Structure 1
Amino acid sequence: MFKHLDIPVHDRQLHVVTAGKQPAPAILLLHGYPQSWLAFEDLMKLLSKDYYVLAADLPGIGDSEDIGYYDKKTLAAHLATLVMSLGLSRIVVAGHDIGGMIAYAMLRQFPHLLDAAVIMSTAIPGVEPWEEVKRNPHIWHFAYFATPALPEAMMPGHEPLLCNYFYDTLAFNRHAVDDEKRQHYVRVYSAAAALKASLGWYRAFAEDEKETAPEPTVAVPVLYLRGDREPGDLSTYTEGLKNSGCTQVTGIQIDNSGHFTPEENPAGVARAMHAFLEDNRPI
Structure 2
Amino acid sequence: MVSDAIRVSEVKCMSNAGEVSHGMAQIRANPRLHYVSAGEGDRVIVLLHGFPQTWWEWHRVIPSLVKAGYRVIAPDYRGAGHSSRMPAGYDKRTLADDVRMLLQDELEIRQKVVMVGHDIGLMVAYAYAEQFRDSVSHLVVMDAPLPGTKVFDDIRLDPRVWHFAFHGARDIAEMLVVGRERQYLQAFFNARIYDPSALSQDDLDLYKSAYSAPGAMRAGFELYRAFDQDVQDNREALERNGKLGVPVLAVYGAISNTGARIEAMMLEVAEDVTPLRIPASAHWIAEENPAAFVEGLLQFLNQPQD
Give the TM-score band, short-chain normalised: over 0.9
What does 1:208-223 align with in structure 2 at a 5 Å threshold? 208-211=230-233, 212-213=236-237, 214-223=240-249
What does 1:73-222 align with in structure 2 at a 5 Å threshold? 73-85=93-105, 86-89=107-110, 90-211=112-233, 212-213=236-237, 214-222=240-248
Q: 1:135: how far off?
A: 0.6
What does 1:239-278 align with in structure 2 at a 5 Å threshold? 239-244=264-269, 246-278=270-302
Work out whether 1:27 is the aligned partner of 2:52: no
| Structure 2 unpaired stretches of 5+ | 1-18
- Counterparts of 1:13 and 1:186, CA distance in 2: 21
- Counterparts of 2:179 and 2:248, CA distance in 1: 39
- Counterparts of 1:110 and 1:204, CA distance in 2: 21
- Counterparts of 1:177 and 1:280, CA distance in 2: 36
- Counterparts of 2:304 and 2:250, CA distance in 1: 14
What TM-score comes out, normalization by structure 1 length? 0.95
Work out whether 1:69 is the aligned partner of 2:93: no
What TM-score comes out, normalization by structure 2 length? 0.88
Kindly provide the amino acid, as one letter, of the partner of residue 65 in structure 2: L
Moved more, 260-269 or 146-155: 146-155
- Counterparts of 2:257 and 2:50, CA distance in 1: 18
Kindly provide the amino acid, as one letter, of the partner of residue 18 in structure 1: S
Kindly provide the amino acid, as one letter, of the partner of residue 72 in structure 2: V
Aligned partners of 1:37 and 1:56 also within 8 Å: yes
Q: Deviations over 1:221-247 (max 9, x none)?
A: 11110011213441x221221122x11
- Count of residues paired in the alignment: 279
Kindly provide the amino acid, as one letter, of the partner of residue 123 in structure 2: M
RMSD between aligned residues: 1.3
Point out 4+ residue stretches in structure 1 off by more than 2 angstroms: none
Match of 1:17 in 2: 36
Work out whether 1:3 is the aligned partner of 2:3: no
- Counterparts of 2:243 and 2:195, CA distance in 1: 37
Q: 1:280: how far off?
A: 5.0
- Counterparts of 1:92 and 1:232, CA distance in 2: 23
Q: 1:128: how far off?
A: 2.9
Aligned partners of 2:253 and 2:259 also within 8 Å: no
Q: 1:161: how far off?
A: 1.0
Match of 2:254 in 1: 228
- 3-state DSSP class of the match of 1:106? helix
Aligned partners of 1:128 and 1:237 also within 8 Å: no
- Counterparts of 2:99 and 2:133, CA distance in 1: 13
- Counterparts of 2:128 and 2:263, CA distance in 1: 18
Match of 1:279 in 2: 303
Aligned partners of 1:27 and 1:94 also within 8 Å: yes
Aligned partners of 1:145 and 1:199 also within 8 Å: yes
- Counterparts of 2:253 and 2:193, CA distance in 1: 9
- Counterparts of 1:101 and 1:223, CA distance in 2: 14
Kindly provide the amino acid, as one letter, of the partner of residue 109 in structure 2: L
Kindly provide the amino acid, as one letter, of the partner of residue 26 in structure 1: V
